[in-house]
Each structure stands twice: as structure tokens, then as C-alpha cells.
Amino acid sequence: MSASARFLDSPVPRYLQLADLMRQRIARGVWPRDFRMPSLEELVQEFGVARVTVRQAIDLLAREGLVSPQQGRGTFVTGSPSNDRFISVVTRLDELARVYRDTQPVIVNIDESVTSPPLAPGEGAPAARYTFMRRVHSRDGHPYCVINIYLDERIFRKSPEKFRTKTVIPLLTSMKSVHIADAHQVLTIGTADMEVARLLDLPMNAPVAEVRRIFKDAEGTVIYLADVTYRGDAIRVEMDLQP
């Protein structure tokens, strides 16, 4: 399939798709710093798009400080995209609590109610009632995740103000009256829908990482369920492989 055909399959504007492709070439070192990019006509021919689409993509990268169009000389690579993936997917509960303590996000609560969690068969027994919180976490003024939290209401009522203003996992692990007997998470790769794109300042269908976390007590009751959607450029997965 040609590049132009792939562009047609997506509702994301072509110039944004093209800018992302160019950005990735710069990030991977295919186009290193001081590299003279292919000419406008060469890019039009390679990607099968209009000249105005290429110009829009280059203008966007220029505003980001990644390239510099120079009259009569061409367009040169002048910078590299940020690679600050500050959220690591970890495999231990204590490490997860530390990650949230260290990132110290700014929390914006956008919904709170009492409801039932969307538990699938086999995920655990539900508690009597849950407090639901939908929030956005930000770092340095930039949103990086949307999270839907279902917390056993009995636990929420122990410290409601702290749960409203702080990250939940470090609070849970520090509470002597709460025992997490089982903790499980699943990561999948998805794309941003309209609401997530708006909340995380992303284009529609931009890549995101979706994490589902479930904590249970000793009786198998789900005391914490969270569905987290991270920006794809904020998260990394690193694992030790057993030989």
C-alpha cells in the first residue's frame, strides 16, 4: 500500500500525519541534525500528497524547532523531538506507588459519583458501593493521562479529601487498614477517541497506552479498579527477560 493510500484511511489531516512521519525520522536519526531534507518535489513524489500538504507539515516542524527552511538552500534539521517518557510501566506494586509519588502530577477532577464498576467475568467480586473519580493528570502544565477510578466507598470515606487531591495508589499502599492481597494490570495499545484527544491535547486517533489495574483484598473483592489512558509519548515499557 502506498503512503498516499494510508493517508486516505485516516481522519487525521494529512499534514499532521506527514509531520509525524518526518518527526519520527528525525527522532530515529534517519534525518540527523544538520541533514538537508529532500526537496519539496521529492517529498511530494515520495508521499503522493499535494505541495501544500508538505509545506504545512514542514511549517509545523519549523514551529517546533525541529527544522529550518532556508531560502535557496533547502530545509535543514535543527533539533530533535523530546524523548522524555517519564512514566515507566513497572511490575511491582511498591514500584508503581513510587512512580506516582515521584511524578507528583497536578490532578484535575472532572467527575465524581457513586456507581458500579465495569467488571468483566473473572476479574473479582464487587464491593457494595464504589466512589467513581474521573481525572486528568498533568506534568509541567501538560496533560499526560486520563484515569477512571472505581474505589471501594468504605475506603474512600476513610480519607475523602486526600483521595480527591492526591494520587490514589500511594495513599492505598500507605493505609494500615487496607490490605492489597492481589494486584494485576494489563497494558494494550490503542488510539485516542474524541474525548481523550481533547483532554490530552492530541490529534484524533493518536497512539495511546491503555492500562487496566485491579486491586483485590484477601476475600477477592475488588477494592480498586482503574482504566488509565496515557499519551503514547509519555510512557515506556521496560522488562527483564528470563534467559
CA distance 143 to 220: 34
CA angle 54, 55, 61 (to 5 degrees): 90
Q: What is the pLDDT of residue 154?
A: 95
One domain, residues 50 and 117: no
Q: What is the CATH number of the domain that holds 70?
A: 1.10.10.10
Q: What is the pLDDT of residue 114?
A: 86
CA distance 66 to 130: 47
CA distance 222 to 150: 9
Q: What is the pLDDT of residue 224?
A: 96
One domain, residues 12 and 91: no
Domain that holds residue 24: 3-77
One domain, residues 140 and 30: no
Q: What is the CATH number of the domain that holds 218?
A: 3.40.1410.10
Q: What is the pLDDT of residue 182?
A: 94
User: Which of residues 77, 101, 121 is at a domain's end?
Assistant: 77
φ/ψ region of 122 (left if φ > 0, alpha if ψ in -120 to 50, else beta) reads: left
Number of domains in the chain: 2
For the chain, residues with pLDDT lower than 70 are 1-12, 82-91, 100-104, 238-242
CA 86 to chain centre: 11
Q: What is the pLDDT of residue 89?
A: 64
Q: Is residue 99 part of a domain?
A: yes
Q: Is residue 50 part of a domain?
A: yes
pTM exceeds 0.75, yes or no: no
Q: What is the pLDDT of residue 86?
A: 55
One domain, residues 146 and 207: yes
CA 236 to each of CA 50, 83, 85, 214, 239: distance values in angstroms, whole numbers, following the listed order: 35, 10, 6, 20, 10
Look at the alpha carbons of 130, 133, 134, 135 in this order and tell me if their dihedral is positive or negative.
negative
CA distance 144 to 142: 6
CA distance 76 to 79: 9
User: Which of residues 32, 48, 77 is at a domain's end?
Assistant: 77
Cell numbers at 98, concatenated = 513510587
Q: What is the pLDDT of residue 103?
A: 64
CA distance 223 to 8: 45
* Residue 14 contacts residue 55 (beta carbons within 8 Å): no
CA distance 126 to 222: 6
For 5-31, how does the pLDDT look when each residue is reduced to its tens digit (9 = 90+)?
456 556 668 888 888 888 888 888 899
One domain, residues 103 and 174: yes
CA distance 27 to 217: 44
User: Which of residues 77, 98, 116 is at a domain's end?
Assistant: 77
One domain, residues 209 and 94: yes
DSSP, res 78: -
Q: Is residue 82 part of a domain?
A: no
